[in-house]
Amino acid sequence: MAEEHREFIDSIVENFIGGICAFEVDAKTLNISPVYLNGGLYRMMGGRKDMVDRLFSNIRMSVIPDDTAVFTQGIKDILADDGTASFEFRIVNTDGSLMWLRINGNLYSRSGDKNVISTIITDCTEQKTIEEELKRQSDYMHLLMDTDITFDFNCRTDVCVFRYAQTDSIARDEVIQGYLEKIPTSGIHDEDIKLYARMFTSAMYHCHRDSIEFRSNGFNTDSDEYRWYKANVVSIMGKEGYVSHVIGHIIDIHEDKLKEIELQLRADHDGLTGLMNKKATETLIMNLLPKYKDSDRIGALIIFDVDNFKRINDTFGHSTGDHVLAAIGEIIRNNFKGMDVTGRIGGDEFMVFANNIGSAENAELLADRIEDQVVHAFDGEAVEGMVSMSIGIAMFPASGLDFQTLYKHADEALYYVKNHGKAGWCLYSAS
């Protein structure tokens, strides 16, 4: 071999990030002593040369007790000279940390009890950590479901590997290059994309566990239906000291989530009218108003109060009173759609936040229309001519920027109507 070629090969061996090593092994005692350790082994171990030399001069003492049998059998397999033997084990590194090593070795020479073996030693700590975490999650998830989805996102390469467990016990893998950029087109519901992406990016930069619920139609190839899923993620710290992988499980929770939503809707809604109850109504309006502050949208908070409702109850009974309230609830529900918030906030009191109504004139026309519909809703019934409403209106932002201020002003406008003949509406103004 030409001298320049030998120097080139020697350079490759020395700079290979991993161990290219030779050891002398006593066939009787299995004592191991290093004959040659390349420079790449020292860089892989991350310690001083003298400390790494000391570790490998008596490597069996550094192997943790649980893996001693595996290590011993691996050395015996190499000495048997039946081809390349490969095995994995854990050692206590020079800095005191636990480290997984993989040895691929062959018998190089034999002379009596003295044997020389050649090996390639690689650090597989990261891979084993991922495998152990996925198995731990898988064991737990299989208690909850028959099939599951696991994923392994490589932070260095931006590649995510999804593994779909199949009913026939055959796994199907999907490899997605440039995963972070493809999240917006991955089938995640528009309302959940930011939450889903934030989960990944947060796990990339901060080592922790997280869990979110989201909707997607990307995991069900047979339908475009959005289903509810739960993602459990965990960050895996690489040897370099930063997160190298984000791994976890995605579970189909659709049926349980629908039941949960149904129970929540029942809890948030008034059973008689189908409108939201007071607490849910106020919470939704308070959550909606901050979104208005940086826009040019105009909204209206409207309070409706049924006039003389006690007299209707006392005269015709509670069943008739309930019929009146249910009919008014239906009228309100039919006149407000989409992002409008509608609720029953008291026995005979209703509240609406009309989203993006455009102008005070539109709010007045709407109040007029609802008043007219309520007055004529009971024509031909026993309560004909007795049902009307007093309505107070406060405009956002002209009459207030927060719920408390808008409610106070709409209530003042309502009582102005009550004190001036009822059966009408009033738009709040400072005068």
For residue 32, the surrounding DSSP H or E stretch is strand 32-37
Strand (E) positions, 267-325?
A: 299-306
Q: Flag whether pLDDT at 146 surpasses 50.
A: no
SS3 of residue 245 by DSSP: strand
- Give the pLDDT of residue 166: 64
The amino acid sitting at 390 is: S
The torsion angle over the Cα atoms of residues 138, 139, 143 and 147, rounded to 10 degrees, is: 30
Indicate the pairing of strand 389-396 with strand 424-427. Answer: parallel
Report, as an integer, the average pLDDT of 107-118. 93
Q: Which of 342, 329, 357 is nearest to 427 (CA)?
A: 357
- pLDDT by residue (tens digit) across 349-362? 999 999 889 899 99
Averaged pLDDT score across all residues of the chain:
86
Percent of residues, the chain, with pLDDT higher than 70: 90
- Give the pLDDT of residue 353: 95
For residue 213, the surrounding DSSP H or E stretch is strand 209-216
Strand (E) positions, 63-132?
A: 85-92, 98-111, 114-123
Task: pLDDT band for 364, please (50, 70, 90 cuts).
Answer: very high
| Half-sphere exposure (Cβ direction) of 126: Cα atoms closer than 13 Å | 19
Task: pLDDT band for 143, please (50, 70, 90 cuts).
Answer: very low
- Give the pLDDT of residue 301: 96
Kindly report the backbone phi and psi dihedral angles of residue 61, in degrees, each rounded to the nearest multiple of 5, phi listed first.
Answer: -75, -20
Contact between 19 and 118 under an 8 Å Cβ cutoff? The reply is no
Q: Flag whether pLDDT at 405 surpasses 80.
A: yes
- Give the pLDDT of residue 13: 66
Q: Flag whether pLDDT at 269 surpasses 90.
A: no
Question: Is the sign of the CA dihedral 232, 237, 238, 242 positive or negative?
Answer: positive
CA distance 278 to 350: 9
- pLDDT by residue (tens digit) across 283-320? 889 988 887 777 788 999 999 999 999 999 999 999 99
Report, as an integer, the average pLDDT of 392-405. 93
- Give the pLDDT of residue 131: 74
- Give the pLDDT of residue 222: 63
Task: pLDDT band for 164, please (50, 70, 90 cuts).
Answer: confident
Q: How far is CA 230 from the centre of its chain?
A: 7
- In the β-sheet with 227-237, what is the strand arrangement from edge to edge? 172-177, 159-164, 149-154, 243-252, 227-237, 209-216
- The domains of the chain, with CATH numbers, are 3-123 (3.30.450.20), 127-258 (3.30.450.20), 269-427 (3.30.70.270)
- Give the pLDDT of residue 125: 86
Question: How many beta carbons lie within 10 A of that of residue 312, not counting itself?
Answer: 23
Report, as an integer, the average pLDDT of 77-90. 92
- Give the pLDDT of residue 7: 64
User: 3-state DSSP: the chain helix, strand, coil percent, rounded to 5?
Assistant: 40, 30, 30
- Give the pLDDT of residue 306: 95
Question: Is the sign of the CA dihedral 274, 408, 307, 352 positive or negative?
Answer: negative
- Structure tokens, 355: 């989203």
- Give the pLDDT of residue 147: 47
Instruction: Let me know how long the chain is.
Output: 431
The torsion angle over the Cα atoms of residues 152, 156, 158 and 161, rounded to 10 degrees, is: -20
CA distance 344 to 342: 7
- Give the pLDDT of residue 248: 86
- Structure tokens, 399: 């009459």
